[in-house]
């Protein structure tokens, strides 16, 4: 793992992170546009053709029926199901706190306010390539349910035609009935445009590979999306009080996601830096996914030594990590200085995987520095807000001259005329 001690090396590494986050690929975009155009034009026929090509030629229908969901869910280990149930309960409790209510106030001659309404139909993409993620089902469906979305559809790829029982167990636990065996850009296209079988949605959420991310970026505008998710990342701010075994384990927890994942330690302690560097080597070779984690650590991992913790915080704010762990003697003292992070984990007993699965906050987080302007997925992503205005005749008269004045200087005669015709009456 590279150890960074100079400004020059730091700049080079930050450039590497920026290039990694760009995620653009002209070849992929061309393929994705071809798929999307085909889905838009040919609907189910194209969707099934791509599903047979990329998943299994034996797939004959897109819909996974409720009886199939129940059947596969029964195959799930009961211990895992209990873990999903507890996690779902905690996730729902957390997201209940995010609910917004409509509001209004009276000015005497006018009522002004905001009306909160849930989205009508949402599509959730659940990855199913190298691994299957029942936690993705919980994290994307529960906030939509809490928001009041009544119509939720899931797209779940089934490589080689195989259906994952744990994904089905999570789906059954949440009571979702509308599930389709389709993945990749074709799933995004089907949800964005609609087909004979898959009804068009208003918003698409859920992570995926570069083809899924590219498709979401292209269809945005015709439908809403949650975010363009990049490779996973963790940044740890630590001082000499941190346990190097814990720090190394937490860095590797993200490195094993994929070769593009980024794991960074920023510390003011050279002794901790040396200990963590050695501990990573020791722990890495015990992992089943050591090849993936090793490439991630070699290419996008770093230990950065700063003059003090204040400088470490400033650098963290510049990077704006998806996951930020603070392992210092007094982490709460650091918290007010943190400006940019998707999720903040305080103290040595709060490893990032708690947030991935069972703590309660959402694990769908902004990546690639977008935490500077984005937030975790939440209930607020599944509602829309309408402004509310109601004026009496007296209230209208009081405001009429002001509106006429602004309309006139903007040269919008018809705007001003709506005021004048009422005053003439």
**Per-residue pLDDT, 117:** 98
Q: Is 23:210 a contact under the CB 8 Å cutoff? A: yes
Name all contacts of 16-19 with Cβ < 8 Å and 24+ positions apart: 16/299, 16/300, 17/262, 17/300, 17/319, 17/369, 18/369
pLDDT at residue 12 is higher than 70: yes
Measure CA of the first residue to CA of the last residue in the chain; give whole Å.
Answer: 78
**Per-residue pLDDT, 156:** 96
Looking at 233, 256, 279, 322, which residue is catalytic?
Answer: 322
Calculate mean pLDDT across residues 259-280: 95
Q: Is the dihedral of CA 150, 155, 161, 166 positive or negative?
A: negative
**Per-residue pLDDT, 18:** 83
The stretches of 161-289 forming alpha helices (DSSP H) are: 165-174, 184-193, 210-219, 244-255, 270-284
Q: Is 382:361 a contact under the CB 8 Å cutoff? A: no
Calculate mean pLDDT across residues 121-126: 98
Give the angle subtended at the CA of 129 by the CAs of 137 and 259, to the nearest 5°. 105
- Which residue's entry shows tokens 């939720």? 152
Q: Is 278:245 a contact under the CB 8 Å cutoff? A: no
**Per-residue pLDDT, 101:** 96
Residues 3, 230, 89, 81, Cα dihedral to 10°? -90
Domain 26-99+115-225 in the same topology as domain 2-23+230-360: yes
Q: pLDDT, tens digit, for every residue of 324-363?
A: 999 999 999 999 999 999 999 999 999 999 999 999 999 9
**Per-residue pLDDT, 346:** 98
**Per-residue pLDDT, 24:** 63
Encoded tokens for 174: 């949440």
Kindly indicate the confidence band of residue 425, based on its pLDDT and cuts at 50, 70 and 90: confident
CATH number of 2-23+230-360: 3.40.50.1980
pLDDT at residue 23 is higher than 70: no
**Per-residue pLDDT, 229:** 83
Q: pLDDT, tens digit, for every residue of 218-240?
A: 999 999 999 988 889 999 999 99
Calculate mean pLDDT across residues 276-293: 94
pLDDT at residue 6 is higher than 90: no
Cα separation, 324 vs 340, whole angstroms: 9
Beta carbons within 8 Å of 172's beta carbon, 6+ residues apart? 69, 70, 73
Q: Is 20:300 a contact under the CB 8 Å cutoff? A: yes
Instruction: Return the domain boundaries, the chain.
Output: 2-23+230-360, 26-99+115-225, 392-424
**Per-residue pLDDT, 258:** 87
Q: Is 390:111 a contact under the CB 8 Å cutoff? A: yes
**Per-residue pLDDT, 130:** 55
Q: pLDDT, tens digit, for every residue of 136-185?
A: 999 999 999 999 999 999 999 999 999 999 999 999 999 999 999 999 99
Cα separation, 99 vs 101, whole angstroms: 7
pLDDT at residue 206 is higher than 60: yes
pLDDT at residue 83 is higher than 80: yes
pLDDT at residue 71 is higher than 90: yes
- Whether residue 162 lies in the annotated active site: no
Looking at 95, 257, 323, 363, which residue is catalytic?
Answer: 323
**Per-residue pLDDT, 230:** 85
The tally of CA atoms less than 13 A away on the side-chain side of residue 183 is 25
Q: Is 313:337 a contact under the CB 8 Å cutoff? A: yes
Q: Please provide residue 270's backbone torsions phi and psi, each rounded to the nearest 5 degrees.
A: -65, -35
Q: Could you give the percent of the chain with pLDDT greater than 70? A: 98
pLDDT at residue 388 is higher than 70: yes
Q: Give the mean pLDDT of the chain.
A: 95
- Whether residue 29 lies in the annotated active site: no
Instruction: Classify the phi-psi angles of 295: left when phi > 0, otherwise alpha if psi is within -120 to 50, otherwise beta.
Output: alpha
Q: Please provide residue 32's backbone torsions phi and psi, each rounded to the nearest 5 degrees.
A: -65, -45
Q: Please provide residue 350's backbone torsions phi and psi, each rounded to the nearest 5 degrees.
A: -125, 65
The domain 26-99+115-225 is placed in CATH, from the list 3.10.450.50, 3.30.1490.100, 3.40.50.1980, 3.90.550.10, at 3.40.50.1980
């Amino acid at each position: 793992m590279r150890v960074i001690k100079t400004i020059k090396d730091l700049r080079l590494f930050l450039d590497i992170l920026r290039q990694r986050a760009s995620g653009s690929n002209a070849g992929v975009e061309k393929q994705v546009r071809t798929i999307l155009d085909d889905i838009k034009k040919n609907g189910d026929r194209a969707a099934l053709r791509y599903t047979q090509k990329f998943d299994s030629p034996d797939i004959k229908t897109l819909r996974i029926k409720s009886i199939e969901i129940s059947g596969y869910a029964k195959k799930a280990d009961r211990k895992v199901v209990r873990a999903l149930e507890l996690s779902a309960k905690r996730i729902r409790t957390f997201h209940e706190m995010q609910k917004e209510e409509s509001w209004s106030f009276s000015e005497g001659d006018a009522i002004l306010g905001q009306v909160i309404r849930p989205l009508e139909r949402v599509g959730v993409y659940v990855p199913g390539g190298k691994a299957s993620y029942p936690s993705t089902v919980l994290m994307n469906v529960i906030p939509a349910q809490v928001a009041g979305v009544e119509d939720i559809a899931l797209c779940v790829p089934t490589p080689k035609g195989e259906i994952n029982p744990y994904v089905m167990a999570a789906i059954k636990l949440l009571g979702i009935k509308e599930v389709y065996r389709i993945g990749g850009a074709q799933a995004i296209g089907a949800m964005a445009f609609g087909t004979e079988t898959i009804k068009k949605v208003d918003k698409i959420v859920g992570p995926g590979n570069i083809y899924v991310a590219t498709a979401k970026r292209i269809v945005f505008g015709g439908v809403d999306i949650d975010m363009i998710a990049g490779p996973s990342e963790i940044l740890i701010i630590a001082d000499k009080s941190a346990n190097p075994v814990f720090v190394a384990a937490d860095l590797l927890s993200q490195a094993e996601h994929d070769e593009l994942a980024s794991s960074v330690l920023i510390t003011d302690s050279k002794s901790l830096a040396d200990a963590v560097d050695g501990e990573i080597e020791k722990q890495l070779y015990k992992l089943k996914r050591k090849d993936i984690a090793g490439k991630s650590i070699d290419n996008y991992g770093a230990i950065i030594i700063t003059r003090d913790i204040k400088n470490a915080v400033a650098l963290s704010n510049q990077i704006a990590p998806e996951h930020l762990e603070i392992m210092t003697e007094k982490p709460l003292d650091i918290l007010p200085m943190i400006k940019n992070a998707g999720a903040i984990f305080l103290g040595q007993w709060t490893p990032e995987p708690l947030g991935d699965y069972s703590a309660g906050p959402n694990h769908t987080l902004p990546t690639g520095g977008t935490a500077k302007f984005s937030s975790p997925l939440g209930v607020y992503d599944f509602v829309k807000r309408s402004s509310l205005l109601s004026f009496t005749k007296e209230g209208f008269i009081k405001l009429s001259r002001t509106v006429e004045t602004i309309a006139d200087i903007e040269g919008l005669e018809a705007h001003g005329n709506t005021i004048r015709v009422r005053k003439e009456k």
